[in-house]
Amino acid sequence: MKIINKFNTILFDLYFTLVYPQYYENDKQNEYFYLGIDKNTWIKVAEELYQERAIGKIKDPVKMIENIAYSIDPNIPKEKIELATQARIKKI
């Protein structure tokens, strides 16, 4: 079998392509609620930092939330990060 190129992996970007992540009408079901962060600020920063998650640089759900949350407020308690992570996992 002749290899046409050197790529061994295909990345399917499910978010914003096949899946559009929705925010619930009830804020208590969204990550930003548990972190005490404004919805629009959360969305803006999450989108700015999306590439790191999309390319697999950050794979752990807790680290994903930390990356976004600590970019907004580095003093958010770990307990709030855990609650926000659980809310995110429930949405997926």
pLDDT tens digits along 3-41: 566 666 666 656 556 555 666 677 778 899 999 999 999
Residue 73 DSSP SS3: coil
* Residue where the block lists tokens 């950050």: 58
Residue 90 DSSP SS3: helix
Burial environment of residue 49 by CB neighbours within 10 A (0 to 12, 13 to 18, 19 or more): middle
Tell me, yes or no, whether 61 lies in a domain. yes
> What's the total number of domains in the chain?
1
Tell me, yes or no, whether 5 lies in a domain. no
Task: Label residue 65 by pLDDT band (50, 70, 90).
Answer: very high
Tell me, yes or no, whether 17 lies in a domain. no
What is the structure's pLDDT at 62? 96
What is the structure's pLDDT at 60? 94
Domain with 72 in it:
27-91
Tell me, yes or no, whether 33 lies in a domain. yes
The stretch 50-55 carries a mean pLDDT of 86
Burial environment of residue 85 by CB neighbours within 10 A (0 to 12, 13 to 18, 19 or more): buried
